[in-house]
Structure 1
Amino acid sequence: MKLDQHLHRIGNDIVAVHLVVTDDGITVIDAGLAGHWRELTAELDAVGRTIADIRGVVLTHGDTDHLGFAERLRRDHGVPVFVHSADAARARGEVKAKNSWGHTKPAAAAGFLWYAVRKGGLRTTYLTEVSEMADGDVLDLPGAPRILGLPGHSPGSVAVHVPEADALFVGDGLTTRHVLTGQRGPQPAPFTDDDEQALTSLDRLGELRAKWVLPGHGAPWDQGVQEAIQQVRVAARPH
């Protein structure tokens, strides 16, 4: 699905993958679930591109629902996969996420699990090699993605700012659709290692300007970075 001139999305509001499409090639932000491969190739066909146009995958963190087809691209097509050094072991399957579920609503949680199963979430292939990145890096990839450390959800969580696409990819730094409750709108993401640190990390994004705030789960947000962060903070307050 085309969101903007340089911006495409596959998946849905449960799990989303984003493509930055430029004249120099394509950067993939996160790799969803293994079953998103078919949607990836269909989207490439729709824009007249091929797998050969993908120059790199940038992971916002190393959780399994963001690894999806990353190893397939790396292994079979030589596409480098970038992950923050603090999440490299997680992306290789050497360190497991804590996966604290917290508050859930059965129907929403069941929908998330069913979607994950249908899309191959039970057969995640971990990465065998990663290209490590760090806070402040500007990667030599289409769109010149800039890496902003956003620890909390995981130690190596990052946001990815791509000015050419007017987009800020936040991974699970926040969500606009809670996969375990179905609640919509900007809010803290579930399965977060350190909730307090995740909220504090959002301060790093406060001065950024981008039309699009794009989480790994939930609808694209186009009402401003600062408004998204404010709504997350409100949602995080004890009720």
Structure 2
Amino acid sequence: MELTPQLRRIGNDIVAAHLVIAGDGITVIDAGLPGHWRDLQRELAAIGRTTADIRGVVLTHGDSDHIGFAERLRRERGVPVFVHAADAARARGEESTKPAWGGLRIGPLLRFLGYSVRKGGMRTQHVQQVREIADGQVLDLPGAPEIIGLPGHSPGSIAIHVPAVAAVFVGDGLTTGHVLTGSQGPQPAPFTDDPATATASLSRLEGLDVDWVVPGHGAPWRGGVPELLAAYRAVAEA
């Protein structure tokens, strides 16, 4: 789905990945679920590109619903996969956590689980080799993505600021569509390791001049960062 000619979305409000498109190639932000591979092919075909144009995958964190087709791209196409050093072991499948689920409603939960199963969530392959990145780096990839440390959801969660497309990708630093409750609007994401740290980390987004704030779950936000953070804090502090 096209958000702008240079920014496209794979998946939906339940689980999404994104493409940053530039003259020198494509940067993939997160890799969704394994079944999103076909969606990736369709999206590339729609713009006259192929996987040969992908220069790198940048993961907002190492959880299974964000690494879906990353290993396939790395193994079959030689595409490097970048992840914060603190989440490298998680992306490789060497460690995991079991954060509390919190509140839920049966309908949204079943939609989330059903979509995950249909998109191959039970057969996710961990990334065998990753390139570790750190807060403050600007990667030599299309769009020149800037890394902003956003710990809390996981130790190595990051935001990815891409000025070329006026967007910041926040992964599970927050959500605009809660997959367990169905609640809409900016709010804390489920399955978060350290909720207090996750909320505090969002202050690092203040001052960003972007048109899009793009979570891994929920609709992209176009209302500006100050408005997003105000809406988030109203929910988090309630």
Could you say which TM-score interval applies, normalised by the shorter chain? over 0.9
Q: Does 1:183 align with 2:183?
A: yes
Partner of 2:139: helix, strand, or coil?
Answer: coil
Letter in 2 for 1:133: I
Letter in 2 for 1:186: P
Q: Which residue of 2 aligns with 1:99?
A: 99
Letter in 2 for 1:235: V
Q: Does 1:59 align with 2:52?
A: no
Partner of 2:41: helix, strand, or coil?
Answer: helix
Q: Which residue of 2 aligns with 1:90?
A: 90
Shift of 1:5: 2.5
| Distance in structure 2 (CA, Å) of the matches to 1:100 and 1:61 | 18
Structure 1 segment 25-104 matched on structure 2, within 5 A: 25-104=25-104
Q: Which residue of 2 aligns with 1:12?
A: 12
Letter in 2 for 1:18: H
Report Cα offsets for 1:55-107 as digits up to 9, x if no partner.
00000000000000000000110000000000000000111122321100011
Structure 1 segment 193-208 matched on structure 2, within 5 A: 193-208=193-208
Q: Which residue of 1 aligns with 2:172?
A: 172
Count, aligned residues: 238
| Distance in structure 1 (CA, Å) of the matches to 2:172 and 2:8 | 19
TM-score (ref. length: structure 1): 0.99
Supply the RMSD in Å over aligned alpha carbons: 0.6
- Contact preservation (8 Å) 1:60, 1:83: yes
Structure 1 segment 213-224 matched on structure 2, within 5 A: 213-224=213-224
Letter in 1 for 2:120: G
Partner of 1:19: helix, strand, or coil?
Answer: strand
| Distance in structure 2 (CA, Å) of the matches to 1:207 and 1:39 | 34
Report Cα offsets for 1:163-195 as digits up to 9, x if no partner.
001000000001000000001111110000000
Partner of 2:62: helix, strand, or coil?
Answer: coil
- Contact preservation (8 Å) 1:63, 1:97: no
| Distance in structure 1 (CA, Å) of the matches to 2:74 and 2:170 | 23
- Contact preservation (8 Å) 1:55, 1:142: yes
Q: Which residue of 1 aligns with 2:237?
A: 237
| Distance in structure 1 (CA, Å) of the matches to 2:90 and 2:100 | 16
Shift of 1:230: 1.3
Letter in 2 for 1:204: R
- Contact preservation (8 Å) 1:19, 1:28: yes
Shift of 1:226: 1.4
- Contact preservation (8 Å) 1:18, 1:30: yes
Q: Which residue of 2 aligns with 1:24?
A: 24
Report Cα offsets for 1:24-48 as digits up to 9, x if no partner.
1000000000000000000000000
Structure 1: runs of 5 or more not aligned: none
Letter in 1 for 2:23: D
Aligned-residue sequence identity (percent) comes to 66
| Distance in structure 2 (CA, Å) of the matches to 1:146 and 1:35 | 28
Partner of 2:26: helix, strand, or coil?
Answer: strand
Report Cα offsets for 1:109-135 as digits up to 9, x if no partner.
111000000000001100110000000
| Distance in structure 2 (CA, Å) of the matches to 1:127 and 1:14 | 22
